[in-house]
């Protein structure tokens, strides 16, 4: 059997209809591969024709246990796409057949399970279609897997990297077998064949791991790797860089042809990484020339547990968070600064997909409990503050009385103060990372419309005693450095005194 046939046999689980297809991709990439379902259905034995809203199917005739040939039937066809499944309805009335293609995210890739049932004249075709669709999906999945065809010039391009190509893809995943080929597989599955430079970063700070791939069409044509001081190119890099120091890696891809792909490019930005503790920032990026209030969401990880702070942004940011944490079961805490509208879409998704406890200000409990329809999931933080255990660390939750009650968070490991909606920056057009003067003006512009001066003054006095190296606000740029942090807090206190 050829290597391609052996791989296909492994995907098919020995031909069993019970075993799922195990695919080293994320659910979104698998849905992308299954987008043209008519093409998949046309591969199935017994399917004579697939058209717009119909299928012509050769259905076995049976009398008890005996086969009596087959009848050709033209059937109505409806396909419904759900978040975790595709549902195919054939026929109508008693002569109907329902097939469900479930795409189950298991943290290390996905399982695809095909099941179905039929009635009337279509009942004998159920097993044939279940197996046929399963086999056809396996062929499509295997056909998307890139192959290696190394060239010297693309090895040099991989070593050099890219500087001006557009970023078109970001993901963070746990490889199942070979990180290099699976990273290429994931990019091609999500974006389609093209010309890309793919960069892979290991997640352990103390061990430097970097790999780059050049992809042309469905072929890996260039490879470069750095591993704790060792460098390799081409076939050697493919061989020695298969396994990073940690299973979880970051994958970014740039389009060499400059063509926008509309893929997932909201890459979580590392704010702090130190072994088992990390802070990441999700933000929309893109168009700072417009200015205004740019939203941030933060993810803090300690060991294998995560907290999401200020879940702002659209619901599809949930996919970015899943890619970062791997398993949504590992999200233990969601801290909601207030119950404003910007927190609701993403918060609802996180609450539905994770077991996290939601921490909220006392004034917001009723709103959030009603929104989530799970009052037991929402815990109020007393005005005196509290602490929340996260992995091997502890977060300090600091309420502020501004605007009816808000929450801020201090992470003593990364020395980061997450200010939520209490303190932020209204940036002018064209400014994203401001100098000290512009930062002060952006802070004043924000506080002048949200400030309750007595509450701000009390909050500043409380957080000034903390060891802070950066401020991470809900709105605007992250402020790095103790001097900048001191300037921002002094300016907030000064404005509070002016207003009083």
- Same domain, yes or no, for 71 and 192? no
Buried b (16+ CB within 10 A) or exposed e, 292-313: ebbbbbbbbbbeebbbbbbbbb
Q: Would residue 152 count as lying in a domain? A: yes
- Same domain, yes or no, for 353 and 427? yes
- Same domain, yes or no, for 85 and 132? yes
**pLDDT band of 22, cuts 50, 70, 90:** confident
Per-residue confidence (pLDDT) for residue 223, from 0 to 100: 96
Q: What percent of the chain has pLDDT over 90?
A: 41
- Same domain, yes or no, for 388 and 461? yes
- Same domain, yes or no, for 70 and 174? no
- Same domain, yes or no, for 135 and 155? no
pLDDT tens across 273-295, in order? 887 899 999 887 544 556 677 88
Residue 462: its H or E element: helix 453-463
> Who wins on pLDDT, 489 or 326?
489
**pLDDT band of 231, cuts 50, 70, 90:** very high
pLDDT over threshold 60, residue 103: yes
Per-residue confidence (pLDDT) for residue 319, from 0 to 100: 77
For 85, the domain range is: 3-143
Q: How many CB atoms lie within 10 A of CB 151?
A: 14
- Same domain, yes or no, for 291 and 414? yes
Domain count, the chain: 3
- Same domain, yes or no, for 402 and 338? yes
- Same domain, yes or no, for 322 and 438? yes
Per-residue confidence (pLDDT) for residue 63, from 0 to 100: 59
pLDDT over threshold 90, residue 101: yes
CATH, residue 405: 3.60.15.10
pLDDT tens across 232-244, in order? 999 999 999 988 8
Q: Would residue 104 count as lying in a domain? A: yes
> Which of 202, 220, 255 finishes a domain?
255
Q: Would residue 260 count as lying in a domain? A: no
- Same domain, yes or no, for 454 and 367? yes
Show the beta-strand stretches assigned E in 2-118. Answer: 21-23, 47-51, 54-63, 66-81, 85-92, 95-105, 110-118
Specify the 3-state DSSP secondary structure of 305.
strand
Per-residue confidence (pLDDT) for residue 482, from 0 to 100: 93
Q: Would residue 264 count as lying in a domain? A: no
User: Looking at residues 381-408, what average pLDDT do you find?
Assistant: 87
Residue closest to 421 by CA, chosen among 443, 450, 448, 445: 450
Per-residue confidence (pLDDT) for residue 7, from 0 to 100: 44
User: Looking at residues 485-493, what average pLDDT do you find?
Assistant: 90
The DSSP bridge pattern shows strands 209-217 and 219-227 to be: antiparallel
pLDDT over threshold 50, residue 249: yes
- Same domain, yes or no, for 356 and 442? yes
Q: Would residue 97 count as lying in a domain? A: yes
Q: Would residue 372 count as lying in a domain? A: yes
Q: How many CB atoms lie within 10 A of CB 167?
A: 15
**pLDDT band of 12, cuts 50, 70, 90:** very low
Give the distance from CA 278 to its chain's centroid. 17
**pLDDT band of 318, cuts 50, 70, 90:** confident
Q: Would residue 124 count as lying in a domain? A: yes
- Same domain, yes or no, for 139 and 151? no
pLDDT tens across 140-161, in order? 988 888 889 999 899 999 999 8
> Which of 79, 113, 143 finishes a domain?
143
**pLDDT band of 436, cuts 50, 70, 90:** low
Contact between 459 and 471 (Cβ < 8 Å): no
> Who wins on pLDDT, 105 or 127?
127
CATH, residue 54: 3.30.530
Q: Would residue 229 count as lying in a domain? A: yes
> Which of 82, 115, 143 finishes a domain?
143
Per-residue confidence (pLDDT) for residue 451, from 0 to 100: 56
| Low-confidence winner among 14-18, 258-262, 390-394 (lowest mean pLDDT) | 14-18
User: Looking at residues 24-48, what average pLDDT do you find?
Assistant: 89
């Amino acid at each position: 059997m050829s290597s391609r046939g052996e791989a296909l046999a492994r995907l098919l689980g020995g031909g069993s209809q019970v075993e799922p297809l195990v695919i080293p991709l994320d659910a979104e990439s698998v849905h992308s591969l299954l987008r043209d379902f008519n093409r998949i259905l046309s591969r199935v034995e017994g399917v004579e024709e697939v058209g717009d809203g119909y299928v012509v199917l050769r259905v076995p005739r049976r009398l008890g246990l005996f086969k009596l040939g087959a009848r050709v039937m033209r059937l109505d066809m409806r396909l419904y796409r759900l978040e975790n499944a595709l549902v195919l309805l054939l026929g109508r009335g008693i002569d109907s057949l329902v097939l469900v293609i479930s795409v189950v995210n298991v943290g290390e890739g996905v399982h695809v399970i095909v099941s179905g049932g039929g009635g009337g004249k279509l009942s004998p075709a159920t097993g044939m279609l279940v197996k046929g669709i399963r086999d056809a999906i396996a062929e499509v999945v295997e056909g998307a897997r890139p192959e290696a065809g190394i060239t010297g010039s693309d090895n040099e391009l991989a070593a050099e990297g890219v500087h001006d190509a557009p970023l078109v893809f970001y993901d963070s995943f746990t490889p199942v077998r070979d990180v290099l080929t699976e990273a290429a597989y994931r990019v091609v599955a999500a974006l389609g064949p093209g010309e890309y430079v793919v960069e892979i970063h290991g997640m352990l700070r103390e061990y430097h791991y970097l790999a780059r791939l050049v992809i042309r069409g469905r072929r890996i044509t260039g490879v470069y790797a750095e591993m704790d001081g060792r460098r390799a190119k081409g076939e050697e890099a493919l061989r020695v860089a298969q396994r990073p120091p940690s299973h979880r890696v970051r994958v970014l891809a740039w389009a060499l042809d400059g063509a926008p792909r509309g893929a997932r490019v909201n890459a979580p930005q590392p704010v702090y990484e130190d072994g088992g503790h990390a802070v990441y920032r999700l933000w929309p990026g893109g168009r700072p020339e417009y200015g205004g209030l740019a939203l941030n969401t933060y993810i803090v990880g300690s060991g294998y547990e995560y907290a999401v702070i200020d879940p702002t942004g659209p619901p599809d940011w949930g996919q970015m968070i899943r890619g970062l944490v791997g398993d949504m079961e590992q999200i233990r805490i969601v801290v909601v600064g207030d119950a404003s509208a910007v927190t609701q879409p993403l918060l609802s998704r996180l609450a539905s997909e994770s077991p996290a406890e939601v921490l909220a200000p006392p004034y917001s409990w009723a709103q959030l409990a009603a929104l989530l329809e799970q009052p037991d999931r929402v815990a109020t933080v007393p005005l005196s503050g509290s602490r929340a255990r996260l992995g091997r660390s502890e977060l300090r939750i600091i309420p502020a009385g501004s605007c009816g009650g808000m929450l801020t968070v201090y992470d003593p490991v990364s020395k980061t103060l997450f200010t939520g909606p209490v303190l932020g920056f209204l940036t002018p057009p064209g400014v994203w990372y401001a100098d000290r003067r512009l930062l002060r003006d952006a802070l004043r512009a924000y506080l002048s419309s949200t400030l309750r001066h007595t509450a701000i003054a009390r909050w500043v006095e409380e957080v000034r005693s903390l060891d802070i190296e950066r401020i991470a606000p809900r709105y605007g740029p992250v402020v790095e450095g103790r001097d900048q942090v001191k300037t921002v807090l002094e300016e907030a206190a000064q404005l509070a005194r002016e207003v009083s």
